[in-house]
């Protein structure tokens, strides 16, 4: 059978870049997306698009690959929509897995570095079990991801399905959601800087993150999805270089030559203080090495926000 991929959440930031890459590499691509986090259409000609929910979608097609990215990954968004957030990453994951099982497809899931919570081991390896509040306001997202991981590994063990779970760490680049408070940190800062508006930092800005440019994420994901012998693997996909939110704001102010001021607000509940990926396993299994440094990735992202390419 020729390659036929079904991508849930494929109109979103990560999904639309992956769909494009799969199309270029000769896959037949179907995207299912309910347009809940972004109503702009990102997908290209040549991709079949159906507006539907991951929880309920079904069809008669035979797929070689099923990828589940459907979620509300921005903290403000998932805190405002906790039930939707849990639903797409519980019933939704099960429905997507059943489609993959019926087709005998390879199944890939985007979990998250959020499964580690406020990790005490930095950089964090896949073997770290996490330090997560199971019922706080972020738990709808973190525990949805953790439940999905448990469900997928149970399908893998019980039905011997080919499953692959990745845990992305803060990916950024063109098409990342940018609207209002729902934008994540890089798009919020870039938008504010380009408009000379205040840059809002929650907490003291000493919290760190490690940011991976979208092209690096796509090439790692492609390898992880298509390489043989990786069934049952759970893999961090992220950058290793930590940067504080204060330093990130300073870089963006400099690159945009902005007159914005930095304004501090109280820190968000259960916001992790440090985050950085241990990518030793990804290096070993798929030869992953991030190639685009932060300044280069930020410059490309800034020019996209300015309306360029
Ligand atoms: N971007 C990152 O840094 C990052 C980091 C860790 C994990 N992730 C995970 O990767 C995936 C994609 O993230 P993204 O950054 O592209 O976010 P995104 O918001 O741009 O894309 C998510 C897509 O899923 C769709 N969607 C949401 N709920 C749905 C539902 N019930 N049924 C059908 N479609 C639905 C949205 O409309 C959107 O197009 C998510 O699962 C997210 O949790 C992303």
Domain boundaries of the chain, sorted by first residue: 4-173+211-240+272-291
| Residue closest by Cα to atom 11 of ligand 1 | 69
235-258 pLDDT, tens per residue?
999 999 999 999 999 999 999 999
1-12 pLDDT, tens per residue?
799 999 999 999
* Residue 89, token pair as written in the block: 């990453």
Q: Does the C-beta of 36 come closer than 6 Å to ligand 1?
A: yes
Give the domain 4-173+211-240+272-291 fold: Rossmann fold (3.40.50)
DSSP 89-141: TTHHHHHHHHHHHHHT-EEEEE--GGGGBS-SSSSBPTT---B--SSSTTHHH
The phi, psi pair for 141, rounded to 5°, reads -85, -55
Q: Does the C-beta of 88 come closer than 6 Å to ligand 1?
A: yes
Mean pLDDT by 10 residues, the chain (309 residues): 95 97 97 91 92 97 98 91 97 98 98 94 96 95 98 98 97 88 87 95 94 98 98 97 96 97 91 91 98 97 85
- The owner of tokens 């979990």 is 111
Element (H, E) at 67: strand 65-68
- The owner of tokens 């390419």 is 309
How far does the centroid of ligand 1 lie from the alpha carbon of residue 177, in Å?
A: 10
* Predicted local distance difference test score (pLDDT) of residue 309: 54
Express as a percent the part of the chain with pLDDT over 90.
Answer: 89
């Amino acid at each position: 059978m020729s390659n036929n991929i079904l991508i849930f959440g494929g109109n979103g930031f990560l999904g639309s870049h992956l769909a494009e890459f799969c199309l270029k590499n000769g896959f037949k691509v179907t995207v299912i997306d309910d347009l809940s986090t972004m109503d702009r259409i990102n997908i290209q000609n040549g991709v079949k698009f159906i507006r539907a929910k991951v929880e309920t979608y079904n069809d008669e097609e035979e797929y070689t690959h099923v990828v589940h990215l459907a979620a509300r990954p921005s903290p403000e968004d998932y805190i405002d929509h906790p039930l939707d957030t849990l639903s797409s990453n519980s019933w939704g994951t099960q429905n997507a897995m059943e489609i993959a099982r019926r087709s005998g497809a390879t199944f890939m899931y985007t979990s998250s570095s959020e499964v580690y919570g406020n990790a005490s081991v930095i950089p964090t390896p896949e073997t770290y079990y996490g330090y997560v509040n199971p019922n706080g306001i972020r738990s709808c997202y973190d525990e949805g991801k953790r439940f999905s991981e448990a469900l997928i590994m149970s399908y893998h063990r019980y039905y011997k399905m080919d499953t692959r779970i990745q845990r992305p760490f803060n990916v950024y680049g063109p098409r990342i959601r940018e609207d209002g408070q729902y934008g994540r940190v890089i798009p919020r800062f870039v938008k504010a800087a380009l408009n000379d508006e205040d840059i809002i930092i929650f907490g003291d800005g000493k919290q760190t993150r490690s940011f991976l440019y979208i092209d690096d994420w796509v090439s790692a994901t492609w390898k992880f999805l298509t390489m043989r012998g990786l069934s049952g693997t759970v893999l961090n996909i992220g950058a290793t270089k930590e940067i504080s939110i204060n330093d990130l704001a300073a870089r963006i102010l400099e690159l945009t030559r902005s007159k914005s001021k930095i304004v501090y607000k109280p820190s968000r509940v259960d916001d992790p203080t440090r985050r950085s990926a241990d990518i030793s396993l990804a290096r070993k299994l798929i030869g992953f090495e991030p190639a685009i440094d932060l300044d280069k990735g930020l410059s490309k992202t800034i020019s996209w926000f300015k309306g360029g390419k």
